[in-house]
Structure 1
Amino acid sequence: MRSYLQYIILFIFLTSGLRLSAQDVPKVWDLKTAIDYAKEKNISINTLKLNTQTAEQDLIASKSAVLPNLTGNVSQALTNYKSGLQNTSGFGLSSDLTLYNGSYLRNDIKSKELNVQTANLSVEAAKNDITISITQAYLNILLARENITYVKDLLVTSEAQVKQSEQQFKFGTIAKKDLLQLQATYANDKYTLVTAQNTLQQNILTLKQLLQLPTDSPFEVRTTDTVQTSPALDNLASAQDKALKTRPEVKSGELNIQLQGVELAKAKATLRPTLSLGGSLNTGYSNNNLGSYSYQLNNSFYQNLGLTLSIPIFDRRVTKTNVAKANISIEQARLSLLDTKTTLTQNVERAYINVQNANSQYAAAQEQFTYTSEALRISNAALKEGTNNIVENLQQKNLYVQALQAFVQAKYTASLYTKIYNFYTGVPITN
């Protein structure tokens, strides 16, 4: 009975833990929530964070290398002589401290500190990448949702037109082919709505995968979310300058040059002598010696303290090879940084061009959408009054649908490119 109760308590504990972890996942998402969640929960980012922790442990070990060590030893030996067996025991403590090694240890600490900084910058770069991906996926959801709203309005109008034409057909005021055209248009609008809804679900799935959420997790985008298109905050030259000063990939490249310089200093340090201080305490006991156990331990107790100078003479060109390779690594790091800066400035310029084009397209699409919306409204009113034919109305509707799709797409494209461009300059994406 007791074991059964234990199982019940364990089950309640585990399930309550699952409920608590499930509560950590938001039910309703806005863009900031999605970005913050991804930065905290993303597997790749957390893997890089663990790499940072590993680098920090290496730094701790490097700092500890300048401290003296301490080793204890105990020996027990049994030796067979012609005169009989001899039992000996030995006890000791030994320690050594590196006094000078060509600044190798000091440079090794610098190297490990730079590795920690580089690892942290890798985390920041990964956060930047996931931020862009989340933003694009999130705006695609808003785009699809807004498109559904327009398509639903279009479907309501089509349904009303079909009902009106059915009544007109009964009274013989319109031909059968006109009714069929409106019914076909209504069916096509329903198909368009289903397609738009499927697109929304696919976009939601994409975002959930980026957030690494289970497929069956409830997911809802905040209904108040809208996009605001605004001009870029900085001109191209200013944006490129800010990107070069703030982006983690550039800082990481600069640190890498410093790191390779320190590695060169470490390689050169092995050419220099090493001076170390060592000491030991030892005592022992033998059953063949006269005297009691305590007497022998006290009588054989000795202390040792000394300096050791190690001078490298010939190491088969190992050090010279390491120095040459370190110099090569410095040049590689400089070229890598130059490539990073070139790529970054090109990306900023591309983003700038995208913003300019997207804003121009959005302005044109908005104007076109305004005109076609009004034209369709007039056409629908004329069709209802019988002063417009169905063919002309359908033509106007097709123009409206084309303008609608162009407008919605241009709106969210302009918003996305603006966010990306400003993000390069250090402006966070929050909404």
Structure 2
Amino acid sequence: MVLLLRMSDIWAQDSIAATLPVQWTLQQCFDYALKNNIQLNSLRLSRLSTEQDLLLSKAAKLPNLNGTVSQNLDGGKTVNAAGNYPYNVNTNGNYSVNSNVTLFQGGYLNYDIKQKNLLTQVAGLNIAQQVNDITVSITQAYLNILLARENIVYVKDVVATSEAQVKQGQQQYDVGSIALISLVQLQSQLSNDRYQLITAENQHRQNKLVLKQLLQLPSSYDFEILEPDTLITNTRLYALQEVQDSALANRPEIKSSELGIQVSNLDLAKAKTGYLPTLSAGGALGAAYNSGNSNTAYFKQLDNSFYQQIGLTLSVPIFTRRVVKTNVEKAKIEVDQSKLVLQDTKTNLTQTIEQSYINVLNAQSQYDAAVEQLKYSQEGYRIASEQLKVGAANIVVFLQQKNLYVQALQSYIQAKYNAALNIRIYDFYRGIPVKL
């Protein structure tokens, strides 16, 4: 049984994987996540639940209608005219319908409808906030894959160069041009470069796994991502205050916190209605039948017992043992708590944006420095390689120049993608969609 379930699960994953693209663009990742992400779909279901709560609160202003039917069978001994006690069985029934409607409850029902409407909006904002979080996470994972892929290309080139250098060194050693220690140093460098290649390939697989988990793709599915033509982006860096103001005016977490204060104020208004009277109207129709009344037919009994009732009920709270006052005071505390939540949300958002601004400045500076560093280390490595070919280079000096070049190359790749990521995240806070 377990094996069958396991096989069915595998078949299900394979069928899903068959419908997925082989290569993904960043926009395809966004679109797929918006449709299939479990957390997002869970929040969407939560929003549907709040919509049902809103419909229920609106329906509370309508009258209800209940019907009651009871049919009983009674048995027992009763004395008759002859003084005997025969056992008699009688049937009796009661039939009624009743309705009630709240006419006045201190505005509680209206407050409740407004509150449920706000909670529905909050649920929608929670979805938007989750979309933003997923967008940033997917962008970071996508760029990390591109970074690792480019790093693999460069490291492979370094390995190929090392292999050629070892081959040349072997030839030079065979003819006595270099010492054995020099050949061993070249071989050791080749082993290190191959190790770096394996590390880069492992990092690439790990970064792909992160994106697969974010998209919640089947574990058996293998995919690749499309590399954009260029990572060049808008080099204009908007002022920090401008981005913060835009985020405070538009980000869903801020709007959600602002609505949270209104929700708390409505809780307070609902609690205060406990001091006010409640006026309700009610009505009922009913009839009864008893088979023991043998002198009157069934429908005649129903006609004779048919009753109608209509009335008003006024309930005035006089002493509630502090229940209402406690509810009011707790609601006031909730209002203050909601204000603190808004203040904290604003503070966290502005600080996050400021950190993003600093990250962009640092990333751009690091990228500029990495470009210059790569330029000079590449030239130094080229010169050392030419000297090695003609036997004019010291092996130790050559390996130092090569390691400097490899380090500069990796720093350049890291700085390039780090700058691309940080500028897009910073612009995203300003409301600019993420694109590559």
Length-normalised TM-score, structure 2: 0.90
Are 1:192 and 2:196 counterparts?
yes
Equivalents in 1 of 2:19, 2:60: separation in Å? 42
Task: Classify the secondary structure of the residue corresponding to 2:288.
Answer: strand
> Which of 250, 260, 266 pairs up with 1:262?
266
Distance change >3 Å, CA 82–CA 314, structure 1 → 2 = farther
Residue 136 of structure 2 corresponds to 132
How much does 1:90 deviate? Answer: 1.4
Secondary structure, aligned partner of 1:315? coil
Q: What is the number of equivalent residue pairs in this alignment?
A: 419
The answer for the alignment partner of 1:364 in structure 2 is: 369
Distance in 2, matches of 1:134 and 1:247, equals 19
SS of residue matched to 2:275: coil
Moved more, 178-187 or 396-405: 178-187
Matched, 1:328 2:327: no
- State the identity as a percent: 52
Q: Which runs of 5+ in 1 are unaligned?
A: 1-12
Aligned ranges for residues 116-195 of structure 1 at < 5 Å? 116-195=120-199
Alpha-carbon distance in structure 1 between the residues aligned to 2:17 and 2:163: 43
Contact 1:230 1:415 in 2 (8 A): no
- Contact 2:125–2:255 (CA under 8 A) maintained in structure 1: yes
Contact 1:162/1:186 (8 A) holds in 2: yes
1:339 matched to which residue of 2?
344
CA distance in 2, matches of 1:229, 1:422: 11
Give distance in 1, aligned partners of 2:123 and 2:236. 32
Bigger shift: residues 300-309 or 143-152: 300-309
Q: Does 1:391 align with 2:396?
A: yes
What secondary structure does 2:425 align onto? helix
CA distance in 2, matches of 1:350, 1:331: 29
1:64 aligns with 2:59: yes
Report the counterpart of residue 277 of structure 2 in structure 1: 273
Question: Given the superposition, is the C-alpha separation of residues 412 and 314 from structure 1 closer, same or farther in structure 2, using an over 3 Å criterion?
Answer: same
* AA matched with 2:352: N
Instruction: Quote the Cα distance in structure 1 between the aligned partners of 2:16 and 2:104.
Output: 53
* Alpha-carbon distance, 1:104 to partner: 0.6
**Inter-CA distance 16–167: structure 2 relative to 1 (3 Å threshold):** closer
Q: Which runs of 5+ in 2 are unaligned?
A: 1-7, 80-87
Whole-angstrom distance in 2 between the partners of 1:333 and 1:35: 32
Tell me which residue corresponds to 1:408. 413
> How much has 1:400 moved relative to structure 2?
0.3
**d(CA) in 2 for partners of 1:428, 1:81:** 87
Q: Could you tell me whether the CA contact under 8 Å between 2:150 and 2:413 is conserved in 1?
A: yes
* Equivalent position amino acid for 2:46 in 1: N
Structure-2 separation of matches of 1:17 and 1:375: 56
Distance 1:243 1:24, change over 3 A: farther
Task: Tell whether 2:56 aligns with 1:33.
Answer: no
Q: Deviations over 1:196-220 (max 9, x none)?
A: 1111111112222222233322121
In structure 1, C-alpha distance between the alignment counterparts of 2:9 and 2:186, rounded to whole Å: 59
CA distance in 1, matches of 2:10, 2:410: 47
For residues 93 and 418 of structure 1, do their structure 2 counterparts lie closer, same or farther at Cα, with a shift above 3 Å needed? same
Whether the 8 Å CA contact 2:287–2:307 is kept in 1: the answer is yes
1:108 and 1:266 in contact (8 A); partners too: yes
The aligned amino acid for 2:123 is A
Contact 1:125 1:249 in 2 (8 A): yes
